[in-house]
Structure formats: C-alpha cells, structure tokens
Amino acid sequence: ACVAWPTIKKEFDNKAAVSVMDLVFKAVFVLRNFRKELNLGPQKPLSIEIKTTTQKEEAVEAASVCMSHLAFVKVNISTEEAVVPKCLSALIDKDVHLYLPLEGLVDIEKEKQRIEKQIKNAEHQIKQKEKMLKNKDFVKKAPEAVVSRERQRLTELKESIQRLKEVRSAFK
C-alpha cells in the first residue's frame, strides 16, 4: 500500500514565527562574521544596538531572546534614529539595523593597523593571482580545475578587501 505524500497543515503555517526566526538567523550570521573580523572569541559577551520601526519592534523583541542565547549578546532595541559612533553595522532585514559599538571592545588603533595589514596582504595576493591568470601559458597548460580555483580565490580576495574596507571605515 502506498502512503500519501505529506502535506503542510494550515494550523502549522505561522508566518510571524518564520519572520522572527529569519531575523534571528540573519543577526546571528552577521554577529559571527563581526566576531571573526575583529578576532573576538565566541564566548566574549557583546552588547548590540538594534534600530527598527515600531511595526517591527515586537518581532525584533521576540528575536532578541534567541539572539542573546545563540550569539552571546545583550540586545538593546530602539525605534529612534540615533547615531551609534564607531560601530560595525548591518542591515539584517527591511527596517532592522544591527550595530556593534566598538568603543571599549577592541583597541581601535591596533585594529586599524591589523586591518591595514590584511588589506595590503590581500592586495598583494590579488596582484599575484592576476599576474598568474594573465599568463596565457599558465591558463593554457594548467588543468581547468586549477585555473578555476585561482579565479575563485581572486574573487574571494576582492570580496574580502571590500569587507575589510567597510570595517576600516567603522574605525574613523
């Protein structure tokens, strides 16, 4: 005997819960990237600011409970437009901005130097990869997988530089 294909029951279709969990996933993803960029361990407690509209405030408050446990953060929610000085920021959803204040979290001068060093290193690697990929003999003789991997790495390095420059701008 064949069993019918499972169907979604209407009573389990909760768009509000899906919206809240979507905010949680996006925020945790952003926070983990911030931790990686700033060399902050996963157990270091952080305090973040979330600016949102009054329409989304309830969803953000519901999401903040999960965020605090999953990303080890203290969440402050505000519906007012205020400038958060020296911070990393990200738009995690329409009308939901996440800010990580840097003051007291990292040594800003050391971070500037570290980021500049990473940018210079990545720029040097980009020059090497571009030189390699412009060499027609290399492209012709190397296996396609190797050439493809080098092109992918070049793209990743360019994206990395872009993100590092965004982080650097937060320190100004």
83 has pLDDT over 70: no
Whether the Cβ atoms of residue 47 and residue 101 lie closer than 8 Å to each other: yes
Q: How far apart are CA 10 and CA 14, in angstroms?
A: 8
Whether the Cβ atoms of residue 20 and residue 59 lie closer than 8 Å to each other: yes
172 has pLDDT over 70: no
Chain mean position to CA 83? 20
Percentage of the chain lying above the pLDDT 90 cut = 35
- pTM of the predicted model as reported, rounded to 2 decimal places: 0.69
82 has pLDDT over 70: no
Taking only Cα atoms into account, the Rg of the chain, rounded to an integer number of angstroms, comes to: 22
